[in-house]
Each structure stands twice: as C-alpha cells, then as structure tokens.
Amino acid sequence: MDIRYQLKRFSDLTSKELYSIFQLRQEVFIVEQNCPYVDADGLDQDSYHLSGYLQHDLVAYTRLIPPGIVYERHAAITRVINARHTRGKGVGKDLMKRSIELSRMLWPETSIKIGAQSYLKSFYEALGFIRSGDEYLEDGILHIHMILDYNS
C-alpha cells in the first residue's frame, strides 16, 4: 500500500486533520471495540501525531508522547490504530516501525513504553518490546505495559 506519512505537533494540525484523527480513533476504539471512554484525555496538545494517508483518507495513526508526561522516564506511543480495510496488509507493523524510529529521533537514548492490548502482545514482541508487569484492565479491555529499550 502506498501510504504517505506525516508527523506534526498538535498546534500544526489543521482542523480537517484533527477531525480525521478523532474520527478514526472514535470509529475503532469506541464504536468497533464497543468501549465508551473519554478519548480527549489532555495528552494530544503535548504530543506529536503520526498520520498515514492512503490518497486523501487517514488510514493509520499513532500519538508520540515525550518522556515525563505519561511515563516519567519513557517516551510513549499511544492510540495505535489503522483502519479496518487496511488490516492484515502490514500497515500496523509499518506504522509502529515508523513510530519507533521517529520517537528515537525525537528523544534519543530514551526507552519507549506502551500500554498494549494484551491480545497484541506477540505483535509488539516481534518489534522488540518486552512485557513489563502484570495485566491490567483499562476501559474493560486487558492491557499490559511493554518497554522497548533505546539500545534495542
């Protein structure tokens, strides 16, 4: 798939881009996963937003958060998402590889921590993440923390 990626700070997003991001996050996390939660968690403004477009449609997205905001000593990658029609085509893996690469560029020598849905544990392990701690319930879905060391 010929996906065009762009990385922007919150303040550089256009209203159309921001609308597309919130729309995709709501479609997948709230509607598709049947998980009512407050998506606007106050973290978007301090984050970088990696958006992947197939022609003009947003199909992939992650939020890159600097160290010290979610986790004291780790950068974070959150809201990892790709549109339903792009799943199973390597888009998620490509999205995460780009997210890791950009996080390392933005915050060198800083490990990355994620709160992964437990069923995706092997997906993230294949990218070098290691489980950190016990499973926990977040918004009715089992999650685990995972860390990718900056030396990995």
Q: Render pLDDT for 69-125 as a digit per residue (tens, 0 to 9).
A: 999 999 999 999 999 999 999 999 999 999 999 999 999 999 999 999 999 999 999
pLDDT at 30: 87
Report percent pLDDT > 90 for the chain: 87
Q: What is the pLDDT of residue 151?
A: 80
Specify the pTM. 0.94
The confidence score (pLDDT) of residue 136 equals: 95
Instruction: Please tell me the predicted confidence (pLDDT) of residue 37.
Output: 83
Residue reference for tokens 């709160």? 115
What is the per-residue pLDDT for 140? 86
H or E stretch at 137 = strand 136-138
pLDDT at 19: 97
Evaluate whether 128 touches 99 at the Cβ level (below 8 Å): no
Distance between CA atoms of residues 133 and 151, nearest Å: 20
Q: Does domain 3-148 have CATH number 2.120.10.30?
A: no
Predicted pLDDT at 99: 98
The mean pLDDT of the chain is 95
Give the pLDDT confidence score for residue 102 in this predicted structure: 98
Residue 1: CB partners within 8 Å, gap ≥ 6? Answer: 54, 86, 89, 90, 91
42-76 per-position pLDDT tens digit = 999 999 999 999 999 999 999 999 999 999 999 99
> Which residue has 């992650």 as its token pair?
62
Q: Half-sphere exposure of 81 toward its Cβ, with a 13 Å CA cutoff?
A: 26
